Amino acid sequence: MSDYYDLKSILCREVFYGKGYCSTGGEEVSKILTDYLQKKDGLSVLDVGSGPGGFAFYVAQNLKASVIGIDISENMVRLAQERLASVDTGIAEKVKFQLSNVETVEFPAEGFDAVFWRSSLLHIPISRKEGVLKRMMKWLKPGGQFISMDHCLDGKVDDVEGFQKYLDLLGVEYLNVESYKKLLETVGLKEIFVKEDNAFYMRKTAEELASAEKAKSEILKLVPQETYQAQQDYWVDKRKWTEVGAMNHVYFVAHK
């Protein structure tokens, strides 16, 4: 995984998604996710797969919460830490990034009010997702929240050219919505709220494609034409897969 995200490809993604983000929706999704959070003073939050750190900064700035962002990619963590050095002290003292694998990292029991998974649980193979979520359950305070944005399958993968190839390339495995929900129930999460929002993703990916086209010369200073083209093709495919329902964009919210 650490090799998958080389620095230039992260910077290229940021031109598409916005500074600090490596997933569709950039800051708009930060707002959607944090709207699900039960607000109170002094929140302690874990962001799993924090990437270049945009979400952690957003949470610290807008909710005055303390945030630990963990990521398995050295390049992601290095970039996030560099940015930490240039944000306001008030925010910087609330945020910490650490190079850690969610499958092995240790945190004290019942230390977090909320754990966010933004396009990150999909990187854990299906056979290991339950183990990871059980670890997370230990870290959550009683009543603490699980809040995620993830991709799910809708059983149409075999019909969609290139989709399985994409999953294999990224080394990701998607569950369908029902299995995902069942998994959350299995580890003991309660009152599971599910929202599929493909319309939002169709709109955002269209915007991101258009803004990438505008920023093409900027992107080509970072990456070669083939990388830019591959990223564009991926966007077009992602829209196609979302449109036919092979790939669903889903929010899951639950509590311990």
Ligand X SMILES: C[S@@+](CC[C@H](N)C(=O)[O-])C[C@H]1O[C@@H](n2cnc3c(N)ncnc32)[C@H](O)[C@@H]1O
Q: Does 75 bind ligand X (CB under 6 A)?
A: no
CB 74 within 8 A of CB 2: yes
- Please tell me whether residue 71 binds ligand X under the rule CB under 6 A: yes
231 is a contact residue toward ligand X (CB under 6 A): no
Is 23 a residue that touches ligand X (CB under 6 A)?
Answer: yes
CA distance 20 to 16: 11
Size of the site for ligand X (CB under 6 A): 23
Q: Which residue has the tokens 């997702």?
A: 129
| 217 and 105 Cβ atoms separated by less than 8 Å | no
Please report whether residue 101 would count as binding ligand X according to CB under 6 A: yes
Hey, what are 80's tokens? 């996030």
How far is 132 from 113, CA to CA, in rounded Å?
A: 17
E strand intervals along the chain: 44-48, 66-71, 95-99, 112-118, 140-153, 190-196, 247-255
Given the complex with ligand X, which of 217 and 253 has the nearer CB atom?
Answer: 253
- Residue 11 as a binder of ligand X (CB under 6 A): the answer is no
Of residues 21 and 180, the one with the C-beta less far from ligand X:
21
Region 112-131 residues binding ligand X, contact defined as CB under 6 A: 118-120, 123
Which one of residues 103, 161, 168, 213 is an interface residue with ligand X (CB under 6 A)? 103
Question: Under the rule (CB under 6 A), what is the footprint of ligand X?
Answer: 1, 5, 21-23, 48-51, 54-55, 70-73, 76, 101-103, 118-120, 123
